[in-house]
Structure 1
């Protein structure tokens, strides 16, 4: 983790603080909370997080205020990968909800480790999102695809190298070179809200916890907004 921490420190020293932008989809969900019914979003903090510069707690709070059930997991506070795995198991198995697991920077490594802990129990997440986790192949090698994640979404800066080893990931590029700006970027917010809505739309209900979602293209129409969710 030394190389990661050093790289992160260099970027933090050369970048400004992050900003969390709003999304028009948040207003729609607030008016129609059924759009995200039975979906839980778990945000996994980067470690080390020197001063909450990625604003992940604020992002999780923004989702909650927008009627999306969301949780903020900080490894420095809440525990290791086993602890995160127990959060996922609780939402997926005990509550029967679909799970969107979002790893910001090194938090994605924590998310992958948690999924590894759950492999033998057949507990799955519907979507795993990597928000600009750099040096991922350095930390976890070339075979990154979790056996128990049905969909992979990569949200990365234009100038960042994408990790290899995921099967058919959905890629979104963010027009910035600032690592800290990615989590709260307007495009990132839209993608995360779209992915949340998608989990509700692909089936209408969560179904049995061990049945993976079947990805397909859906069109969601609003009075002044048409959104194609992939």
Structure 2
């Protein structure tokens, strides 16, 4: 067995493993438009990716009244479902995950998606069995609350310093800080990598291949 610095690697989903950032931004904008709110900019819509759905929509559309939130959520789900077949894993993700499994790492997903949404997408990309565990925003506290990572640590009996969080947003990296876990950022997702610096990730990868190489050498 190869030497490991981390026993458990937790990945964010959208924008980290799954090439969905652009479509999520457009779906948020379309949903806000549908309910009569002020359509957020690409930057504002992209900032909320990684949060739980209603938390994200409320933040992206502050002028939409709470009584319209159910409709807002329904319109987002409508637009996202219409684009489901356009989404895929980033190229190189499957070989990276396979290599980490071979090295003996436990792999998990910590995502702002719902349990139903994550399970559907895992089936759609034939990833059942690749991940040892997962936590979604509707079954525990959303990011950047550390509860997702705390629950994964407890499930696998892994201490914080042996857990690595990988994500494309400041929400992911702040969750790692709050959980006292090391982190790695990726710059090809929703947030600009300059925003990661105050959160002190071990590395910022600019492609899946760079992430693959860093993890195999350092995780």
Report TM bin, short chain. Answer: 0.3 to 0.5
Q: TM-score, normalised by structure 1?
A: 0.42
TM-score normalized by the length of structure 2? 0.43
The structure richer in strand per residue is: 1
Q: Which structure has more RCO (C-alpha within 8 Å, separation ≥ 6)? A: 2
